[in-house]
Structure formats: C-alpha cells, structure tokens
Structure 1
Amino acid sequence: MNFQIRVPLNTSPEQYARLCALRVVFAQVCNQLAPSVKHSRVWNRVTLHHLHYHALRAQFPALGSQMVCNAIYAVSKMARLIYQHPQSPFNPALKPGAALPLLRFADSCPVYFDRHTLSIKPGQLSLFTMDGRMRFDLTLEPEKLAIFEQAKLREIVLNERTDKVFELSFHLDTIEAAEPDALAEPVAQGAASAALIPEYVSVEVTP
C-alpha cells in the first residue's frame, strides 16, 4: 500500500499570487510539449527530456531547469494515462491508425515538485517559485516527519483546493515497519482509474 501526506499552505495574498503565476507557466510548458507528443507518439519521459528539454528551457527561462524537467514528467505521465490506460477511450489500440488526440492543460493544472525544488526540515518547508524560494512554517507529527527520512518519495504535487487553499500532496512508497493509520493517509488501490481523466486536462480529438 502507498501513502499520501497532505500539507495545506497558509499563504499570504502575495504568496498565493506567486503560486498561481508558477502554475500558469508550468501549464504553458506542458501545452508547448503536448503537440509534439501527439504527432510523434513519443511520451517516454527520458526520451522527451532528450528531445525537448533545451528548447523548453530556452523558451521558458523563468521557470528554472528542474521545473522544466518536472513539466516534462507531467506531460509524460498524463500521456501514459490517456494513451495507454486500458480503460481510456483514447487508447490508440481501440482505433489503430487513427490520429492521437491533443492533450491541453488548464491553468489550474497541478505543479510537480521534487527534492531539488522543495525541501523540508523541522518546522519549515521551502519551495521554488519564479521569484525565489518561498518558505512556510510546517507543523507535522514527528512520525510523519520520519517518513521523509525512511520512505522513498515518489511525487510531490501542488494543487489548489475548492476553498482556494494551495495544498501539497506527498506520495510515498510503502513503509513496511510503519503503522499506516497513524502515519499517513493510505491511497486506495484503483483510485487512478476511478476518475481517469482529470478536470484540468481537456482531450481534443481531430475529426
């Protein structure tokens, strides 16, 4: 079983605006890359990095090198979901030879972070923005803090909740020695396929 730890961010109006600006540019990078994925039918993350990283980095210098890598990862992950998932209506196996649909990311799309763009230490969380690092007070139980030292961190995702609060979700691999209910929220198996296509992605089909 995998685990997820959610951390809401208590942002000031200025911090909220900075996170919104970061999210918009992140979506722009995703949308710049998505047509190439559609036409080339290549969405392997490593291959996409080799083919497009330098051009994207030059086109979006304010986003920073690692966040460009994270945007490439976001497109690769969504393409795998839309084009490869057996339950996806857009899986090309259903219509051999048909053109792939275009994926379009809304400005409300999640932003992916990693250990290079986000760091945690006792009492504080620091994350990258286009205007420098942003720091927040962080209060977590000692057991949850220990997870970040013991477990393999798979993903860090920034989303905005319906109440206009930005929230970070930390997705971690199973910790065999931990007590799941005491440490973090378990992620249900099959949750990804329950709502296959997220609201922030539109799928444009060519007639």
Structure 2
Amino acid sequence: MNSAVRVSLNTTPQHAQRLVDLQAAFAAVCNALAPLVQQTRCWNRVALHHMAYKQLRQQFPELGSQMVCNAIYSVSRACRVVYQHPQSPFNLSRLGDKPLPRLQFLPQSPVYFDRHTLSIKDGQVSMYTLDGRMRFQINLAPGDEDRFRNEKLREIVLAGKGGSFQLSFLFAQATGDEADDGDTAHPRGAAAELPEYVVVLPDDTFTPPPSMPRTANASLSP
C-alpha cells in the first residue's frame, strides 16, 4: 500500500495568498537556521532545537512556537539529504575538511505540519496560517479515512506553486517506520536528487530573491 495520501486544496485567491505568505515565512526561518548548521556541522533535529529554538522564536514571533519546531525539522531533514545521502555531491565524505556549503530555502519551499498545527475532522482540514486557522473540505476515499483512524502519521506537508496547493500525508510503514528524529543518514525513501526547493551555496554569499522577506537574510549564533 502507498504510504502517502495526497489531497489537492480548492483555494480562492485569498486562500492562496495566505498559504504563499505562510510558505515565505516558513522558508525565512529555515534560512535563518541554515548558517548555524554550516558553522557547527550539526543538523540533528534535537540538538538544533536546543541551540536555536529560543532565538528563532524571538526573531520570528509571528510564526508560532510549533511551526518554528517544524521549520527546524525541515532544515534537519534537508541537511540529511544534502550532506549525508550517499549520492549527494555534497556528502561529508566528499567534502572532507572543506567548509560546508550553505542551504538556501526558496520562498515556495514546502511547509511541514504536525497534529498541533493541522487536524482533520468530518472531512474538513483545519490548518494553521499566519492569520489564524483556515479550513478546507476534502474528499477522502473510504480506505483513506480508515488510514487516518488506524495508522500513524509520519509527516504532513503542504506544497504549492503558482496558486495550486496540495497536502501530502505520509504514514508510517507497517514495519515500524517512525518519524525521523534527525539521527538517520537520510530520510527513508529519499531520492538521490537534491530537494528542488533548496539551493546549495558554495560560500557565505546569500542573495535573497525579491519575493523573499528580508528576515530570511538573518543568521543565528550558536
């Protein structure tokens, strides 16, 4: 059985703009955290949380505590692919003692949710945005409804581009697959390709696109 359920969202222009704003804010937090990863060579989710959470909350109060935690998870996840995937050109074994390249998350980067920031009840999704909760009606097949009741969700991801948005619900495998804790070499099932929403910068140069909030250019000190 496919481990993921994907649902397209029927958005109005106003809905779409709120989701675009959420994507940009989420990417801004990721970009504020990326220099710390580069400096410390640490991308373990728990360790990053201890090092950066308090400062990120102060720097991005509008995003909320749980979404900051989800952004830390997103950075940890992307770094495991870029720095640890055996086929990545930026794998640590290839870099050796050279400085790590820095990751730049694009404004349309996916947003990760959890049970605190997104819920489903009676065929309706309630999801966090910068301007309060937003709700969508969704149509689930009977088999998918059973999965939400009986299986463990591993990831909830919002992806969107050009005003079209989709939620992906990734379930734990029957073999006991659980949510990544930041210690695995790379996410289970991750492809060899680098994430399309991440740009790998060879040095400290960071030039945000015009549509990216200026706060994305901020950095953290360990």
- The question of a shared fold, defined as TM-score above 0.5 by the shorter chain, is answered with yes
CA-to-partner distance for each residue in 1:89-147, whole Å, 9 max, x for gaps? 10121131110000000001000011110000122110000100000112212221110
Which residue identity is paired with 2:62? A
Query: SS of 2:129's equivalent?
Result: coil
When normalised by structure 2's length, the TM-score is 0.82
Which residue identity is paired with 2:47? T
Give the aligned partner of residue 97 of structure 2: 97
Instruction: Note the 1:45-124 alignment, pairs <5 A.
Output: 45-124=45-124
**Residues 16 and 163, structure 2, Cα contact 8 Å, conserved in 1:** no
How many residues are aligned here?
192
Query: SS of 1:6's equivalent?
Result: strand
Moved over 4 A (4+): none
The counterpart of 1:201, out of the listed 198, 202, 205, is 198
Please give the alpha-carbon distance, in whole angstroms, between the structure 1 residues aligned to 2:108 and 2:5. Answer: 21
Please give the alpha-carbon distance, in whole angstroms, between the structure 1 residues aligned to 2:127 and 2:21. Answer: 14
Query: SS of 1:131's equivalent?
Result: coil
**Residues 87 and 193, structure 1, Cα contact 8 Å, conserved in 2:** no
Instruction: Note the 1:29-40 alignment, pairs <5 A.
Output: 29-40=29-40
Which residue identity is paired with 2:22? L
Classify 1:175/1:97 alpha carbon distance in 2 versus 1 (closer, same or farther; 3 Å): closer
Shift in Å, 1:193:
2.1
Please give the alpha-carbon distance, in whole angstroms, between the structure 2 residues aligned to 1:82 and 1:95. Answer: 12
Please give the alpha-carbon distance, in whole angstroms, between the structure 2 residues aligned to 1:97 and 1:130. Answer: 41
Query: SS of 2:67's equivalent?
Result: helix
Which residue identity is paired with 2:61? P
Query: SS of 2:47's equivalent?
Result: helix
When normalised by structure 1's length, the TM-score is 0.88
Give the aligned partner of residue 167 of structure 1: 166
For structure 1, the 5+ residue unaligned runs are 177-189
Among all aligned residue pairs of Structure 1 and Structure 2, give the percentage whose two residues are the same amino acid: 54
Please give the alpha-carbon distance, in whole angstroms, between the structure 1 residues aligned to 2:105 and 2:33. Answer: 11
**Residues 2 and 174, structure 1, Cα contact 8 Å, conserved in 2:** no
Which residue identity is paired with 2:127? L
